[in-house]
Chain A
Amino acid sequence: MARLEINSVSKAFGAARPADGLSLAVEPGEIVAVFGPSGSGKTVLLRMIAGMFEPDDGDILIGGRSVVGAPPERRGIGMAFQNFALFPHMTARDNIASGLRASGNEVARRVAAISKLLKIEHVLGHAPRELSNGQKQRTALARALIGNPDVLLLDDPLRNVDAKLRYEMRLELPNLLRRGTAAVLYVTQDYREAMAIADRIAVLIDGRLAQVATPADIYAQPASVAIARLFGDPTINLAEVSPVAEHGMLSAEVAGARMRLAAADGTASLGSCWLGVRPEDLAVSSASSDGAIPARILAITPMHEKAVLLLRLADGTEWLAALPPDAPQGAADDGVFVRFASDAAMLFDRATGLRIGASPRLKAA
């Protein structure tokens, strides 16, 4: 039972600053996904915790004790690598057992237990080169898990396995990781994986934590426009607006149509903003009505579980709408009208990119 605590950690490599005052705490038994675009410093953070290099500044504590300067083998950390990093000259069994310092019987018992859990009992005698990528990944996970480490670091472990297996592992991993009491830090570049596996997501952008929150909160209430764009497929629709307050309601003109946004919190005017609406929050119909944006369908991509429409609004902005597959969609080149509920609209400050105010959705949450 040990808490992982990262206190204003910084690291620079020449001009690059992959960690710039990072602070994060992971409770025992909690899974925190570190999510961010490539090059945002995720792997550097993990490697500082693992002791492959030391932070320039700040402190890393495991169970209340600083581990900065301690050799990797004394930190009580288990780690699974993106490229598996199995020992090629050892069998899967020896790979898994490499972390145990126990008697032969005890080792055999624990290897058997963990490999049963990960369903790799039948390949224990194989060398890593004889394993499929999925089996390699499971072996690497078994090796990281077997010592019951205080802190478990997973560096994009599903990056190199095929799509089907990735889905399978996304379902299995949370249970597997919660079995122990390790504080789990899970690095990924795939927002779906982060949302499926983690209790909380820490969004890392340019060496800084942009937001740390539950998956649902991050999706519904992204702290900035950059985060809003990282989560969601298709990505969030944006439009440049200058909202005004009338009769206690904020509204803005989007492509010639006046759209109601939210209740005004006394602010008279917000200046230039980004309006963000998720594609699945858009409704498309052929009938005109008040508060609908005229648009033209440019293309339709049927994706079975949903249909994605590429729309061009009257002012030329291109938006995407994700609709249920059975909803009436029209055909390409049709003129349509686009609507969204006022509480689905998010407003971001144009200059800073930060989300403005508490939307009705936030109050509801």
Chain B
Amino acid sequence: MEHSSLAGRIFRGVALTLILIFFMFPIVWIFLMSFQTNEQILRIPPRILFEPTFANYEALISGQLRTAAGNLQISFMRNLFNSVVLSSAAVLLALLLGVPAAYAFARFKFRLGESIAFTLLSFRFAPPLLVLLPLSLYYQELGLNDTYFGIVWVYQLIALPLILWIVRGYFEDISPDIEHAYRLAGHSWREAFTRIAVPLAGPGIAAAGLLSFIFCWNNFVFALILASADKQPVTVGALAFVTASGIQYGQIAAAIVLSVTPTLLLALYAQRYLVEGLSLGAVKG
């Protein structure tokens, strides 16, 4: 790990800086764009120095989009709220279903166990567009079209396999003896699960939950097809900025900043668990 040579250290610093600039620049640029008007953005050449404006954010929050063709009603804040509700509910449901399932797959050998686990994982293999058409037909029949529950359910395709497979690795890493010891101390298996297995797999459960939250948040096509305007999340809601009178770059940038912020804060806060969790689960003896 320790590269003590000066040349090595300089090279490493330069390389890290280049990579950082490459990946961070779009974010910085979007951030700057969100404080500019469409005219300022489309100016050639672009300028770093400009008169900042909060008009974009005002438009988003008030829901009034002013374009050359006139005022337009948008429901961005509603979309943001939808995103929070949908992603949280989806992850919560996936944790409730996935963590006990992961425990079962880790601890017990049962008929078709591996096949069921793999089938759940294979849901991630199919391109979403492929399953969407039949799914939307089902949903219309079942009356799930354009309901929060329907979208939360379809989000299980994203969240459940992820949680199941990450958390399963964690449970497998816990020595069964620890749970046996707890049971011999006079506790039922349910207590051993909630007081020993779940707390010990805690970092893994947190990491899996966070990852699936981000994946759900970023999903676009499920909600595009299966929900109408008042149930759509920000990813779909941003389409509203492509208007008849042109693309509202400023508002799009502001919308992106607003929609990225929650996941970014969450990821920064949980970064430690995320890295520790994912690597701990992956490295096994």
Which residues of chain A have a CB within 8 Å of any CB of chain B? 50-52, 71-73, 75, 77-79, 81, 83, 85-89, 98-99, 101, 140, 143, 147
Contact = CB atoms under 8 A, between A and B. Distances in A.
Given A89-B199, A89-B200, A143 B185 contact: yes
Nearest to B187: A73
A43 to B, nearest CB: 11
Interface of B: 175-178, 180-189, 196, 199-200
Given A83-B175, A87-B196, A88-B200, A71 B181 contact: no
Given A71-B188, A73-B183, A77-B184, 12 more contacts: A72-B180, A79-B181, A83-B175, A83-B177, A85-B178, A87-B178, A89-B199, A98-B185, A98-B187, A140-B181, A143-B185, A147-B186
Contacts of B200: 88-89
Contacts of B188: 71, 73
A87 B187 CA distance: 14
Given A50-B180, A52-B180, A72-B180, A85 B175 contact: yes
Given A83-B175, A85-B177, A87-B178, A50 B199 contact: no
Contact of A73 (B175, B178, B186, B199): B186
A83 B180 CA distance: 12
A114 to B, nearest CB: 13
B137 to A, nearest CB: 48
Nearest to B178: A85
A50 B177 contact: no
B178 to A, nearest CB: 5
B171 to A, nearest CB: 14
Most buried by B among A79, A86, A87: A87
A71 B180 CA distance: 11
Given A88-B200, A89-B199, A89-B200, A72 B184 contact: yes
A75 B196 CA distance: 20
Contacts of A72: 180, 183-184
A98 B175 CA distance: 18
Contact of A85 (B180, B186, B187, B199): B180
Given A88-B200, A89-B200, A99 B185 contact: yes
Contacts of A73: 183-188
A89 B186 CA distance: 18
8 contacts: A52-B180, A79-B184, A81-B181, A89-B200, A99-B185, A99-B186, A143-B185, A147-B186
A57 to B, nearest CB: 21
A58 B219 CA distance: 58
B190 to A, nearest CB: 11
Contacts of B182: 87, 98
Contacts of B196: 87
A196 to B, nearest CB: 25
A85 B183 CA distance: 12
B1 to A, nearest CB: 23
A78 B184 contact: yes
Nearest to B199: A89
Contacts of A79: 180-181, 184
A39 B188 CA distance: 30
